[in-house]
Amino acid sequence: MANYFKHKRVWITGASSGIGEALSIAFAEQGAHLILSARNEVEINRVSAACLSAGASSVLVQRLDLEQHETIPSIVETVLKKVGKIDILINNGGISQRALAKETALEVDKKLMAVNYFGTITLTKALLPNMLTHQLGHIVTITSLTGKFGSPYRSSYAASKHALHGFFDSLRAELNDDHIKVTLICPGFIRTN
């Protein structure tokens, strides 16, 4: 298993900071071919340089805004033209929220669902035909413990993460015979910006 990720094509969203940055460096140290996506081009380029220094086989930076659903299929097409296929997709990109439900504007609820849920499933659905063609792949989605258990001040965030659980649990069952794995990861509190 020491070389399991060497030369694997790993696409990580939300790679410019926090969990995404840490995952990017960890996969780089294993010699993976990385596709790093985020909105912040300055930070994603910083992470890219760190990954190359850490031993990544290659790094492709692809700007991606998960709220811009209509752009995602063409971005996937562009990436696949450059790398051929994706072995592992890590759906890590997202935004957070901290406020009482009664004080959270509906626009905030909609934005959280647009980014955390719809952006994530739009990317997954755009990439899925390629994985099915190759009969391989691993879709990993970083959710949260709040995707299982709601908590005060996190109602909209928890709702977006609960939605991911419903979608990806169903997708896992649908892909059971297609050699495509689906994993949900539910971290607790993380010290990150």
Please identify every residue annotated as catalytic.
Answer: 157
Question: Measured between alpha carbons, how far is 72 from 84 in angstroms, rounded to an integer?
Answer: 17
H-assigned helices in 4-71? 18-29, 41-54
- Residue 61, both tokens: 């930076």
User: Whose CA is closest to 54, among 77, 83, 29?
Assistant: 29
Q: Judge contact between 28 and 57, C-beta under 8 A.
A: no
Q: Count CB-CB contacts under 10 A for residue 34.
A: 28
Residue 109: exposure state from Cβ atoms within 10 A (0-12, 13-18, ≥19):
middle
* Residue 10: strand pairing partners: 34, 88
